[in-house]
Chain A
């Protein structure tokens, strides 16, 4: 009779030596003599051995641990399917989305190794191996693209990485809360203004005849109007300043959140030790937010080659391709064509694939270096 009763004892999954065990802990609620317990144990064994259980331990006539070893992964997935039908159902649309719009394009990367014709599918077209890659590497323009991509990113890193940290530190020193809030609100604003509007403003402000920048330069420094958007030497600087203007405030949020989590007792201790404000910033605040700083740095370096095509497509023109053309804008032009170039999907895909692979390597190495020299890493 009690054998059926035992069926209602709770199951518990336990991991031991990498195997999954299912334990049932049976507590016998009434007092009985030791020899009966042994009989009960035998009975239990008979009942459960069919289901693959073994009696693992007998504890002073009160408890048994029944153990069923090694539920295979296959079995587990099946159990999961039955138990979580609903969750499986609602995860399906998302899963399909990722398959179609993320994994199918990855599969589509095969056209980088093919001579792809516009009308054909991914699977058609002749294999040509690495021809597109070789063509790209042999082109002297390749080095110019690579240089521009790295230069723009380096400018962005040098200016765009430390400034949000400095802003967060400065904001943390403000004691008037309302002032702090106003500065935060205003400085986050540009992040939400579309890049089309921002680059429209930049281009119009920099116009040699009617731009406000040239007016101010002439008024203050007496400099003759400069046609900024047709001179290649200015593009990296203009682009970086625009980016910093747009993202400075917003990028400081993570640091502000990190600073607000710093243990206040550390500051009190520093004050007792006679540390000045600079000392407190340098020896308390900065070390406390260094994990955040490192994570952001890794992510920034990992994205170095991924400089988005969008802002540059909006800002550049053929007179400044020399410095403004980067890999992603080149992919865009090679893929969709311009007045001078006929569209070539295969070649553009090859260039894009090169870009993705180098990005992945960069991210991986940045993470590796960080893990070696500090405790922080992405994975």
Chain B
């Protein structure tokens, strides 16, 4: 064998070892916080207080979870978040899909003007306060509508869907029209079923956005019965507003409660994520193909 090729092989395998090491390290760094949060939430509160948990739970104890579910109304936060996510995503998909379809049809001469009109908002906006005032003026303040209507269309998702629709062959629509189908039928029975994967991807992006949203709730919702889960987590684990629940006998559970709340609220995403991940990745590549 030639000398240089042995040398290249050596560097190549050193590179491989180094590469695998880095990537494994990345996975560990990514997953460790979740593991630690879980361990700390179910460990013996005394050990948590003394900062003795490093990786795995010690002295299993579920008192914190009991307290969270019985006294903290986490259930209602959960319920609110589910409602906001379902209603919000339904509005998103309806608005985004019909607008994207109209803008994707080449025979629609106004589409160029309207697209420019819409894309402009990606670069310039009224900002926080004027938007807040408009929403309040419309009477949506302190209601679910303030969380779902002002974000009915995300321009980026609209553009992704528009580019997807424009790939549907014109002849398909023409032939349906010749067969006597009217426009609404074509849209809902031909176009949308054909675009189901794209609609699912966009819908998932929207749903995650609604589920994780806390800022609109922070500025628009004052009634704590309407708080979504994220706002409740913030109040408990960051602002530490748990005086009414934590008494002298269970004050030792303080840390456990914080970790328990964080873990409970991240659980739905961690469980669902592996199954829906491929849709997200598809969404990004739909967009990048058109760039």
Contacts of A17 in B (CB 8 A): none
Check A91/B99 contact, CB under 8 A, given A98-B153, A105-B134, A171-B23. Answer: yes
B105 at the interface (CB under 8 A from A): yes
Bound CA span A186–B15, Å: 22
* Stretch of B57-65, B66-74, B192-200, B268-276 that contacts chain A: B268-276
* Stretch of A136-144, A150-158, A346-354 that contacts chain B: A346-354
Other-chain contact of B102, A87, A196, A245 (Cβ < 8 Å): A87
Could you tell me how many residues of chain B have their Cβ less than 8 Å away from some Cβ of chain A?
93
Q: Is the CB of A98 within 8 A of B51?
A: no
Contacts of B114 in A (CB 8 A): 91, 95
A12 at the interface (CB under 8 A from B): no
* Stretch of A57-65, A232-240, A249-257 that contacts chain B: A249-257
The 4 closest A-B pairs by CB, nearest first: A105-B126, A94-B99, A108-B130, A352-B127
Q: Is the CB of B129 within 8 A of A360?
A: no
Other-chain contact of A108, B126, B187, B238 (Cβ < 8 Å): B126
Q: Which of B1-44 contact A (CB under 8 A)?
A: 8, 11-12, 15-16, 19-20, 22-23, 26-27, 29-31, 33, 36-37
Bound CA span A331–B131, Å: 13
Contacts of A77 in B (CB 8 A): 109-110
* Stretch of A38-46, A198-206, A318-326 that contacts chain B: A198-206
Q: Which residue of chain A lies nearest to B7 when distances are taken between CB atoms in the complex?
A: A276
Other-chain contact of A355, B95, B127, B183, B184 (Cβ < 8 Å): B127
Bound CA span A95–B153, Å: 10
Check A200/B238 contact, CB under 8 A, given A87-B105, A102-B121, A310-B214. Answer: yes
Q: Is the CB of B123 within 8 A of A200?
A: no
Q: Is the CB of B129 within 8 A of A100?
A: no
Bound CA span A39–B88, Å: 67
- Please give the distance in Å from B262's CB to the nearest CB on chain A: 5
Contacts of A349 in B (CB 8 A): 127, 129-130
- Please give the distance in Å from A212's CB to the nearest CB on chain B: 6
Check A193/B238 contact, CB under 8 A, given A106-B130, A108-B130. Answer: no
Contacts of A248 in B (CB 8 A): 26
A97, A216, A314, A356: most-surrounded residue (chain B CB, <10 A): A97
Contacts of B265 in A (CB 8 A): 194, 196-197
Q: Is the CB of B30 within 8 A of A189?
A: yes
Q: Per-residue 0/1 for A113-129: is the Cβ within 8 Å of any B Cβ (1 yes, 0 no)?
A: 00000000110000000
Categorize the interface residue count of chain A.
Answer: 35 or more
Other-chain contact of B266, A80, A184, A197, A292 (Cβ < 8 Å): A197
Q: Per-residue 0/1 for A155-172: is the Cβ within 8 Å of any B Cβ (1 yes, 0 no)?
A: 000000000000100110
Q: Is the CB of B128 within 8 A of A98?
A: no
B54 at the interface (CB under 8 A from A): yes
Q: Per-residue 0/1 for A63-87: is the Cβ within 8 Å of any B Cβ (1 yes, 0 no)?
A: 0000000000000110010011011
Contacts of B23 in A (CB 8 A): 170-171, 174, 179, 183
A88 at the interface (CB under 8 A from B): yes
Q: Is the CB of A211 within 8 A of B153?
A: no
Bound CA span A328–B128, Å: 9
A293 at the interface (CB under 8 A from B): no
Bound CA span A293–B124, Å: 24
Q: Is the CB of B110 within 8 A of A194?
A: no
Bound CA span A186–B35, Å: 13
Which B residues lie at the A interface, using CB under 8 A?
8, 11-12, 15-16, 19-20, 22-23, 26-27, 29-31, 33, 36-37, 48-49, 51, 53-54, 95-96, 98-99, 101-103, 105, 107-111, 114, 117-118, 121, 123-135, 137-138, 149-150, 152-153, 158, 183-184, 187, 208, 211-212, 214-215, 218-219, 230-231, 233-234, 237-238, 255, 258-259, 261-262, 265-266, 269-270, 273-274, 277, 280-281, 284-285, 288, 291
Contacts of B285 in A (CB 8 A): 253, 257
Bound CA span A97–B121, Å: 12
Contacts of A192 in B (CB 8 A): 208, 212, 269, 273, 280
A76, A94, A104: most-surrounded residue (chain B CB, <10 A): A94
Q: Is the CB of B230 within 8 A of A196?
A: yes
- Please give the distance in Å from B140's CB to the nearest CB on chain A: 11
Check A199/B127 contact, CB under 8 A, given A80-B108, A122-B133. Answer: no
- Please give the distance in Å from B15's CB to the nearest CB on chain A: 6
Bound CA span A189–B31, Å: 9
- Please give the distance in Å from A371's CB to the nearest CB on chain B: 15
Q: Is the CB of A352 within 8 A of B129?
A: yes
Bound CA span A3–B207, Å: 60
Contacts of A87 in B (CB 8 A): 101-102, 105, 107-108, 111
Q: Per-residue 0/1 for A2-38: is the Cβ within 8 Å of any B Cβ (1 yes, 0 no)?
A: 0000000000000000000000000000000000000
